[in-house]
Amino acid sequence: MLDASSTVPAGSWASSAGRRRNMQAIRNRDTKPEQVIRRLVHARGLRYRVHARPLPDLRRTADLVFRPTKVAVFIDGCYWHGCPDHYASPKINSEYWSDKVARNIARDRDTDERLTRAGWLVLRFWEHEESTNCVDKIAATVIARRNGADSS
């Protein structure tokens, strides 16, 4: 069913057909920040799984998963995960999007808690963080856990 303007289905989250196409084109995996970090981590000789479930019964995937050392890495987008420095609520349909981002943040916290309880170490980085700093922390953490130290 279309609304009066015949551009967007009634009850849609998008304010226009153009906005809908734009939002649907946004990637939820293999983003530029993820690709850069993966490339740099791989160059350090570390191997990982991409977009894998750390826990088989948890329907959530981490961006990089180091199974033997139980390290899960998430590269969070500033908008979708509510970055305190960069998130700005949109002016159109703001209630919907603010609620959506709040649910994402709550899901992130729940994921962190579940993984931690299962013995995993969760590393979260914002997309705007310097890639080399992220990679330094990832490498140090994985190597420390591989060597038996718990680098939290």
Burial (CB count within 10 angstroms: exposed 0-12, middle 13-18, buried 19+), residue 132: exposed
CA–CA dist 111, 14 (Å, integer): 28
- The confidence score (pLDDT) of residue 4 equals 44
Which residues does 20 contact at the CB level (< 8 Å), separation at least 6? 8, 12, 14
Give pLDDT, residue 2.
43
Look up residue 14 and give its two tokens: 């998008």
Q: Which residues does residue 75 pair with via DSSP β-bridges, in sequence order?
A: 125
Q: What is the pLDDT of residue 26?
A: 56
- Please name the amino acid found at residue 126: W
Please give the chain's pLDDT, 152 residues, in tens: 444 444 545 555 555 666 556 555 555 667 899 999 999 999 999 999 999 999 999 999 999 999 999 999 999 998 888 898 887 777 787 888 889 999 999 999 999 999 999 999 999 999 999 999 999 999 999 999 999 876 55
Domains and CATH numbers, the chain: 1-27 (no CATH), 31-146 (3.40.960.10)
Residue 13: name the closest of 95, 104, 105 by CA. Answer: 95
Its pTM stands at 0.80
* Exposure string over 32-70, b if 16+ CB within 10 A, otherwise e: ebbebbbebbeeeebebeeeeebeeeeeebbbbbbeebb
Q: Hey, what are 55's tokens?
A: 């826990």
